[in-house]
Structure 1
Amino acid sequence: MEQPKGYVRRIVTGHDEQGNSIVTEDGPAPSVHTNPKRVGYYLTNLWLTHEMPVKVDNGADPTLSPLQLEPPKNGSVVRIIEFGPEGEWTKQLDNAGAKEAFGALGTNKASTYKEGGHPLMHRTESVDYALVLEGEIHLVLDKEERLMQQGDFLVERGTSHAWANRSGKPCKMLFVLIDGTFDAEIAKNF
């Protein structure tokens, strides 16, 4: 049977009362989100942390909280995003539509829309690790682009960027976002 879009099997471990390692969860990741302004977009939060060092316990599933694009303050988030191919919907996005798209991701501050740039340009105050799992996608920056294909890995350090899937097929990526702080020079332009 074919799995629904955004499906990722997630296994979580923990400890029993005697301190033995056990599986506490095994099933579909419960935090799957779509975006009404981005056709074919599925964001699946796999886990997140709220502090460093991370409290190691059998606590509640942190992905069941409301969706937020940025990682928690002093925390991290790991997710898989499937980007559908771009089409007419992309050309119709203006600044208000981009802000609405980012609002659906739990933020209104992410859009750094620029005339002539990609309508979904954004940046977060974080270091992001990104790995292409399936397909291909263009990393769009202020002054250049790079095509990323299956197996390609990116370290994104708080730069304005967008993801443009021009392939005609879905692209699936793994992301780890770690909370960060801009230095004073970068922060004044944020």
Structure 2
Amino acid sequence: MVRQTRRVIVDHDSSGKAVVTSDGPTPNVKLRQATGITSTQLWVTDRAQPDLSSGEDMSLRDVGVAPPANGNILRIVDFPPVSEMKAVDNAAMLKEMGLSADSHGGAASRSAFMHRTKSIDYAIVLEGEIDMLMDDTEVHLKAGDILIQKATNHAWVNNSKANCRIAFVLIDAQEPPAWKQTPGH
């Protein structure tokens, strides 16, 4: 029996705010009859053509949180419980992350961790649990859940007592029209 995968998609509503647009089992699951392997397709994009000719270890590049133009990033992030973290200075955090000051963080936001990147992000919760805050709402994720985020304003907050580990794939994207409807742009 195949275990269902929870998939959460976060996009913009008609006013440009971050919202959950889908939350439930992944709809595209195929049993490959010839092999007995089950394939769960979570999301597809139609552009990305990296140069594979270099033998360089691309993980050694110093990049911020957002992927390079026309590029992508695969990373694993460990989020300690918020109770173990020091107070966050949003401006310093954004600078360290390589993001501009108009990345939607700061005093007017729900959390000092609020930020956004011009990317589509695939977040796979490997262990633990975490809350992803959006403009007016939040979604709680547990190990095995997958979130697909489309350049929305958000913050990751671990309210549990244990570490949360997430694998992220961030793919550079066009600036979404919703950004023009929100402050800072």
In 1, Cα distance between equivalents of 2:84 and 2:50: 43
1:167 aligned to 136, 146, 160, which one? 160
Unaligned runs of 5+ in 1: 1-50
- Closer, same or farther in 2 for the Cα pair 1:74/1:187, shift >3 Å? farther
User: What is the aligned-residue RMSD (CA, Å)?
Assistant: 2.1
- Sequence identity, in percent? 32
Alpha-carbon distance, 1:88 to partner? 7.0
Shift of 1:67: 2.9
Secondary structure at the aligned position of 1:102 is classed as helix
Among candidates 111, 127, 130, match of residue 118 of structure 1: 111
Cα pair distance change 1:88/1:175, threshold 3 Å: closer
1:59 is matched with which residue? 55
TM-score, with structure 1 as normaliser:
0.65
Work out whether 1:72 is the aligned partner of 2:65.
no
Correspondent of 1:140 among 122, 126, 133: 133
Distance in 1 separating the partners of 2:178 and 2:100: 22
CA distance in 2, matches of 1:150, 1:89: 21
Work out whether 1:99 is the aligned partner of 2:91: yes
Aligned-pair CA distance for 1:184:
3.6
Give the counterpart letter for 2:140 in structure 1.
L
Cα deviation 1:107-151 (Å, max 9, x = unaligned): 334352243611111111110000100000001011111110000
Q: Tell me the equivalent position of 1:181.
A: 174
CA distance in 1, matches of 2:48, 2:63: 20
Aligned equivalent of 1:155: 148
Q: In 2, Cα distance between the equivalents of 1:114 and 1:129?
A: 27
Q: Which runs of 4+ in 1 moved over 6 A?
A: none
Please list every run of 5 or more consecutive structure 2 residues that lacks an aligned counterpart in the other structure.
Answer: 1-46
Give the 3-state SS of the residue equivalent to 1:87 in structure 2: helix
Between the aligned partners of 1:119 and 1:179, the Cα distance in structure 2 is 24
Q: TM-score, normalised by structure 2?
A: 0.66
On the 8 A contact 2:90/2:105 being kept in 1, the answer is no
